[in-house]
Structure 1
Amino acid sequence: MPKVLAQGKTIECVRGANLRVILQQNGIDLYNGGAKVINCRGIGSCGTCAVKVEGEVSSANWRDKTRRSLPPHSPTTDLRLACQTEVLGDVKVTKFAEFWGQGSRIVWTPEG
């Protein structure tokens, strides 16, 4: 079973599990500030669940690519939308600051 390391927690999940669902089910602070209330609930349109993912995950789908091509995101960053990402193997997740998670300051790392 793949393992997700995020905010100091190691979470086992089934291969193909949705990253957003796994993080939320395990009490990980996926959203910054007002995005905790104002987000698209996983349909890939708001971009507030953007995280850096290291490890084996699905390729970015059209929703992920489209949303991250619009400001304040950039298609050249290594962020992914958690709601559009399937876990395929062990992964490490990092969350950055700002409403859409696109800031340069780290909010939390895989280790905590």
Structure 2
Amino acid sequence: MNESVTLTVREDGAETTIEAERGAILRDVLRSHGVAVYGSVSRVANCGGRGLCGTCGVRVEGAEGGSIPAAGLHDAAAKRWGYPRLSCRIRVTEPMTVEVIEKVVWGQLRPE
């Protein structure tokens, strides 16, 4: 039996808690709980979780202050420079807080 991990999800100003199977892919966990990791266009046209399109970005805070390891070039760069990480490249290994970012066109963030 796999152990579960608690995730805190922040979306549209609300915060909810969900349970995920340890080792699961964050993107898949979020989608299975109805969390919209994609924008309106990328919801249909995305790479299917292969880390190629860059549209499933979220902000993540790990229990150890960002200890979730980077997986792949995009994710390593995101972690280094502070922009969103790809949820399809993160395995759930510890409790974490995930902030879902509003996306307007493709996977892009709304200009500030």
Q: Identify the TM-score tier after normalising by the shorter chain.
A: 0.7 to 0.9
- Over 3 Å counting, the alpha-carbon distance change for 1:37 and 1:75 in structure 2 is farther
Match of 1:50 in 2: 57
Please state how far the C-alpha of 1:95 moved relative to its aligned partner. 2.1
Tell me how many residue pairs correspond in the alignment: 100
User: What residue identity is the alignment partner of 2:102?
Assistant: A
Larger radius of gyration: 2
5+ residue gaps in structure 1?
106-112
Contact 1:3 1:12 in 2 (8 A): yes
> TM-score, normalization: structure 2?
0.73
2:94 pairs with 1:89: yes
CA distance in 2, matches of 1:74, 1:12: 24
Q: 1:38 to 1:74 in 2, by over 3 A?
A: farther
The reply to whether residue 2 of structure 1 matches residue 5 of structure 2 is yes
Output one character per residue of 1:49-80: Cα deviation in whole Å (capped at 9) or x when no partner.
01001115641112xx23775xxx79512421
RMSD: 2.5
- Between the aligned partners of 2:25 and 2:110, the Cα distance in structure 1 is 23
More strand by share: 1
Question: By how many angstroms is 1:97 displaced?
Answer: 3.0
Amino acid at match of 2:89: Q
